[in-house]
Amino acid sequence: MTNDSGLLATAPRRRPTLGGGLVLALVTVVVVLLAAEAIDRLRDPSASLWSYPNYIDVWQKAWAFDPEERGVLRYDSELGYQPVPGASGTVNGQPISYSADGFRTQNPGASPAAGPLVLVLGDSYTEGWSVSGDESWPAHLERLTGRRTLNAGVRGYGIDQMVLRAERLVPRLKPRTIVLAFIGSDIERTALSFRDFKHKPYFVPAGDGLELRNVPVPTTPLSGPLVAVRAVLGYSHLLDTLMRRLGAYDLWFGNNASTGADGVLVSCRLMDRFAALARKYDAHALVVAFQQSDRWNYPLERTAVAARVAAVLACAKRAGLATLDTSAAFAAAQAAGHSAEYFVADHYSDRGNALAASLIAAALAAKN
């Protein structure tokens, strides 16, 4: 076609539409993500281009069903769960057994310890994860002091559950000394309504005190929020890799649910509650902060965790409780640089427990 001047006319260009542009952008994003997914699977020997499990579902089932907990732990309407009295089994492959009162057995071949009773409360660091009963720090403490020591540590407990268990045991046992040992993660657990797909009790600030919630502890099954979204996105190995590296476990797996409360504030008020219990039964109470494995926290989180631990210890002091921060002693022993000697499965080894017990024994001796 020519125009009036006899020159060849060109057809006018069609302007791209908004809809067409959005479709092109969407297709581009999908292609890039699919390529990234394939690359991520190729670089990981444990992944495959031909197998597509739902990674969230796999981990949820692992959390919800731990064969080592069956027959050893049981539901408790106030604590969430506690050891089965007289039970025996394994903990991360190590034998574990409990007394008729639900305390981890220890030092069976030694002469019965005498002296004023010591009751210890805590989480898996106290229970003795991945070590035998004689290698836990309460077992070391009993041998060091010659005082009968009851290990009431329970894996996965937060400071809230420790204090609730103390309120159950102290009136009955009337120990002369109570040791409550925690790690930084236990502060965060006080701000959860369920953890690892298990309902738990929790406290919320109320006025100047605390209000207990979720008791009796529910028994309904848990699958976490955004179930439909996880059912689709969970098949992505790339997203699984990214969320793990970001440390966004709660968001990705849905294994924990926040109460919205400030864990430090709740833990501080729990220190007041624990101090009141000790005064009521004329017991000497010691609050211990353990140096947990660095593998539990990403490098950027360690400073924040240390600040939370220091804040809770300061609250314990203000409540009139004796305190012990073990971090300096573990740093002096270069535990981080010799983690294989002081830690096993991210918990204290026999050597780590021996160091912890020696620090606690010295703190108790200084007070008496």
Give the CATH number of domain 60-367: 3.40.50.1110
pLDDT single digits (tens) 213-250? 999 999 987 766 667 777 777 788 888 888 877 767 77
| 3-state SS class at 73 | strand
pLDDT single digits (tens) 120-159? 999 999 999 999 999 999 999 999 999 999 999 999 999 9
Lowest mean pLDDT among 38-47, 116-125, 180-189: 38-47
pLDDT greater at residue 111 or residue 359? 359
Core vs surface per residue 108-117: b (16+ CB within 10 A) or e: eeeeebeeeb
Could you tell me the pLDDT band of residue 30, with boundaries at 50, 70 and 90? Answer: confident
Domain residue limits, the chain: 18-51, 60-367
Token representation of residue 195: 């953890």
Which residue's entry shows tokens 């006080």?
Answer: 190
Residue 2 clears pLDDT 60, i.e. is over it: no
Token representation of residue 16: 């791209």
Lowest mean pLDDT among 199-208, 227-236, 278-287, 318-327: 227-236
pLDDT, residue 9, reads 56
pLDDT, residue 288, reads 98
Lowest mean pLDDT among 4-13, 178-187, 246-255, 319-328: 4-13
For 275, the enclosing helix (H) or strand (E) is helix 263-280
Q: How many helices (H) and strands (E) does the chain have?
A: 14, 16
